[in-house]
Each structure stands twice: as structure tokens, then as C-alpha cells.
Amino acid sequence: MRTQVAIVGAGPSGLLLGQLLARAGVDNVVLERHTAEHVVGRIRAGVLEQGAVATLEEANVVGRLHRQGLVHHGIEIAFRGERHRIDFEALVGKSVVVYGQTEVTHDLMDARRAAGAKTVYEAEDVTLAGFDGTAPVVRYRHGGSTHEIACDFIAGCDGFHGVSRQSVPASALTTHERVYPFGWLGVLVDRPPVSHELIYVNHERGFALCSMRSPTRSRYYVQVPLEEKVDAWDDERFWGELRARLDPGANERLATGPSIEKSIAPLRSFVAEPMRFGRLLLAGDAAHIVPPTGAKGLNLAVSDVRYLAHALSDWFRRGDASGLDSYSARCLKRVWFAERFSWWMTMLLHRFPGSDSFAMRMQQADLTLLFGSRASQQSLAENYVGLPFDD
């Protein structure tokens, strides 16, 4: 088989890249290790920046998003039993949209199916070769036999544990990492959310977040130690712990019920540099991870893909390599801003085991400054709604 771009991974990065390229007339094939049902069933991100929405508009997959997405003009931060609102609209004149990653993936899969573009699910043992020259090849096993795709470029959109980054010689890659000593235990429940906006909670028992996916489906998280097992948390224990961290007003409105999903996500910051190796280009979680506190993971994946789709279509249309040449540097500039913001939000809102009194006072001073200073709030709002694209 031959195609112009072989895309490894059918998460949001791979599917969105496939859709943008297809619309630009660039032929592509997507290879995915899991089934479509598995991919679409993963409960992950939920907050979209305006720039991410604009990119999904460019991909023509926003019909449902515009009908069902919830526009949020701010967030609340709770500390010592009091909630403080960060008003994005008043501070920076922008908002975000709450629309689950599951739904984004669903819309992209539907569009790919309608366009008749090729996706191979359950592609096993994917290997990448030849990307340091001009004739890259991707091999995989499917249905018991081995297949090969010859292509002009390989897009590594296969997430943090994927094969693409691992195919690059270690000497060509610089990595930066921070692993946090806790995770988020998340519960999805078919009950209306506590509030129409997200509530981030800094509590002495640990961080909590009240989020949602729709007016009738809520997503709640509590900070737990890294070694915690999800089986140790029945619904009753989860709701009890969440209640202990919420202010009285939120507690009064909290509607609990049987969880429909429960999982623990570890928190990590990670960046691999550069993001291009000859004819292999990495995008999304394959190149970088942020802790979810700043709601940036999915948004960064979308911004990488936006730059990559434009760069590849310029190359195929006009032989213009400038977008490919600047791809890594342009992405990484945005990535590092999002890494800084996600790290800062994580430091601001979590309880760190073994924190000394100085560290605690620094966190308190940061929060007090934020609640009392418009300039501090503006900085948070500017980063939360998303920095502008560099195009």
C-alpha cells in the first residue's frame, strides 16, 4: 500500500490530522492498535480552548459541538471554604467550551468514515523505518499477516506510550520530565453538575475538581496518593471524600449516584525535543504530557496538529518546506508555555506530601495574591483560555 502520510494512532491527534489532510487533498492512512470502541470509550479531557474549536471548525466537525458544547465564561477556585471566581470574559474577553474528548473523537471518526478514508484498527506490532531518508515505511500486522505502507511522511500521533518516539535514536532526543507524587481519582456520574462552571478546590485533605461533560453528566476528581488502587474506592468512599473537600454551598448542591466510570490518572509533565526527525513528525501526547490541572493536553494536541496539517499541505501543494522546517520550534514554544501553566496550576492547588511550612506559605501567598490581584487573575485567564496561535 502507498499513501502520502501514514498516521500512527487514532486518538484526537491522529484523527484530526487525517481529517485536515483529507480536506486539503492529502491522502493518508491511520493505523491504530486498539478497536474503535476502545478508543472512543476512554474518558479523558473535557475543556476546549477557542483556538481548538476554530481548528475543529476548519476540520468541519463542529455540528454537534456547537449544539451540545457548554460555553464557560470562568472558573471558580475554592480555598478555606470560600469560592473565588476567575471571570475570563471580563479579564480577557474570551471563554472556553466544555465538550468531552470522547465526543470530539466520535465526531472525527464519523467524518473519517463519511469521507471513506482508510483506518486500520487493531494494527499490531507497528514499526517505523526509513524516516531519516526520503522513503519512509510503516509495517504492521493485521488479521494474522504482515502489511507495509510506503509513504512520504510518518506522523507519530500514538500518545505517550506509542512506538513513534521510541523509534527515534536516543541520542537524537532530549527529554524533560517531572512526575508528581499523586494522581487524580475520577468518577463519571449521570447527575447534573454541582455548578454551571468548574470548581477547583485546594483543601487540606487534598485537591478536588468539580467538572462536567453535559448538563446531566458530571465528572469529579479527588487527589489521591500515587500508590492508591481504584478497587479500594467504592462509590460511597469517593462521595464521602469529595464531600469532605467541598464548601457547604457546593455540598448542598452535590447530586451523587452510581458511578459509570472510575479511574486513577497519574500526573506527569514531560517534553521530548525536537518533534521532527527527518520525515517523522511527532504530535500530541507522543511528544509531550501535561498534568490535567490546566486543561491543556487535548488543546496542545490540537495546536500541534493544526501546524502539522498546514505544513504538510504546503509541502504537497507547492513543495514549500518552510512549515515543516519550523514545525518543531513553533510547537515547542507553545508547548513550554502550556507546560509552565499546567505545572503552576498543579503546584498552586495540590497538597504535596512532606511539604514544609515554607512551601505551604508560598502556596497560600500565591492564592491570596491571585484572589486579590486583577493582574494575577488576568495571567491565569489568558493561559487558561489558550494563547494565540503563531500563524
Per-residue interface string for the shown chain with ligand FAD, residues 301-320, x marking contact by CB under 6 A: x-------------------
Choosing from 99, 140, 200, 220, the catalytic residue is 200
Residue 158 engages ligand FAD in binding (rule: CB under 6 A): yes
- Minimum Å distance from CB 301 to ligand FAD? 4
Residues in region 242-301 near ligand FAD by CB under 6 A: 265, 284-285, 292, 295-299, 301
Q: Classify the C-alpha dihedral 319-11-271-48 as positive or negative.
A: positive
Among 34, 83, 118, 178, binds ligand FAD (CB under 6 A): 34
- Whose Cβ is closer to ligand FAD: residue 81's or residue 311's? 311
Nearer to ligand FAD, 12 or 206 (CB): 12
Annotated active-site residue in 292, 307, 310, 350: 292
Contact call for residue 18 and ligand FAD (CB under 6 A):
no
In the list 101, 223, 303, 377, the residue contacting ligand FAD (rule: CB under 6 A) is 101
Q: Is 327 annotated as catalytic?
A: no
Q: Which is nearer to ligand FAD, 175 or 373 (CB)?
A: 175
Q: How far apart are CA 277 and CA 129, in angstroms?
A: 12
> What are the cell numbers at 273?
525535543
Backbone angles phi, psi at 131, to 5 degrees: -75, -10
Interaction of residue 73 with ligand FAD, rule CB under 6 A: no
- Residue 121 known to be catalytic: no
- Counted residue by residue, the chain has a size of 391
Task: Report in angstroms how near the CB of residue 367 gets to ligand FAD at its nearest.
Answer: 21
Q: Applying CB under 6 A, does 386 fall inside the site for ligand FAD?
A: no
Number of neighbours of residue 372 by Cβ within 10 angstroms? 10
Are the C-beta atoms of residues 379 and 370 closer than 8 Å to each other?
no
Q: Residue 230 CA to chain centroid, in angstroms?
A: 22
Contact segment (CB under 6 A) with ligand FAD among 74-82, 155-163, 228-236, 316-324 equals 155-163
CB of 290 to ligand FAD, least distance (A): 7
6: left (phi over 0), alpha (psi -120 to 50) or beta: beta
Helices (H), the chain: 12-23, 36-40, 50-58, 63-68, 88-92, 101-115, 235-245, 248-253, 297-318, 322-349, 357-372, 374-385
Look-up: residue for cell 507546560?
339
Tell me: does residue 230 bind ligand FAD (CB under 6 A).
no
Distance of CA 174 to the CA centre of its chain: 22
**Of these residues, 12, 72, 203, 220, which one is catalytic?**
72
Measured from the CB atom, is 136 or 162 closer to ligand FAD? 162
Give me the least distance between CB of 108 and ligand FAD, in Å please.
10
Q: Specify the residue, 76 or 285, whose C-beta has the smaller distance to ligand FAD.
A: 285
Asked if 142 is an active-site residue, the reply is no
Across the beta sheet with 276-277, the strand order is 118-120, 28-31, 5-8, 153-156, 280-282, 276-277
Choice among 203, 288, 296, 310 that is catalytic: 296
- Residue 100 phi/psi, 5-degree rounding, is -60, 150
Cβ–Cβ under 8 Å, residues 279 and 154 = yes
Alpha-carbon distance of 125 to 142, in angstroms, equals: 9
Q: Which of 3, 18, 22, 32 binds ligand FAD (CB under 6 A)?
A: 32
Return the range that interacts with ligand FAD (CB under 6 A); candidates 26-34, 92-100, 267-275, 368-376.
26-34
Tell me how far apart the alpha carbons of residues 72 and 385 are, in angstroms, rounded to a whole number: 10
Asked if 51 touches ligand FAD (CB under 6 A), the answer is: no
Does 387 sit near ligand FAD (CB under 6 A)?
no
Pick 301 or 370: Cβ nearer ligand FAD: 301
CA angle 304, 306, 309 (to 5 degrees): 105
Catalytic residues: 72, 200, 292, 296, 384
